[in-house]
A = this chain, B = another copy of it.
Amino acid sequence: MSGRPKIFDNEAVISKAAEVFWRQGYEATSTEDLLAAMGIGKGSFYLAFKGGKKELYEKVLEQFDQAAVSRFRKELDAAADPIEYIREFFRGIARQPKKIHQKGCIFGNAVAELSNIDPLLMKQATHHLQELEANFLEALQRGKQQGILTSKLDPALLARLLLNNWNGLGITRRMYPDNELLSTLIEAQLRILD
């Protein structure tokens, strides 16, 4: 059964690759960039990821999604006020360093870059963003149940507005990688939750 032991951990190298993809995008990243970042050779890479760069990118998106979604759900469950949690979620953007602002949202990046290049990958990125939207919706519904959210807007519409704000911030934060400016912008956006 078990032959030569693997020198690397799959999740670990996916996470290494994620950083490069996130920073440079899909097309601008060569497999050699990825190999260098992951610290493995071609042989190992194509053995572990037979689909090459494309499969790796899928895995990267999935890993990102797993981490983000599980964290969101956990924190939301722990939050007494789900609406305030959404607020803090957005406010968190305005606490991040410039390097992060410059990378934007990897899912939004994927949607923008791959719509007419690789529709399948684009569809997956879209799906992940829809999960974020679903999380917003769940928080909003809980807020409504608890009587915290008084807005008369349909929660589904509200969730979509939040998603669009998120998508916009993925671009705007690169134009203005300035936390004070972003904070002002975000606070104004959050008034739809009042």
Contact = CB atoms under 8 A, between A and B. Distances in A.
Binding site secondary structure of chain A: helix
A175 B109 contact: no
Interface stretch (A66-74, A78-86, A137-145, A161-169): A161-169
Contacts of A126: 174-175
A15 to B, nearest CB: 18
A122 B25 CA distance: 14
Contacts of A115: 102-104, 174
Given A115-B174, A126-B174, 5 more contacts: A109-B112, A163-B172, A164-B169, A166-B168, A167-B167
Interface in A143-184: 153, 157, 160-161, 163-172, 174-175, 184
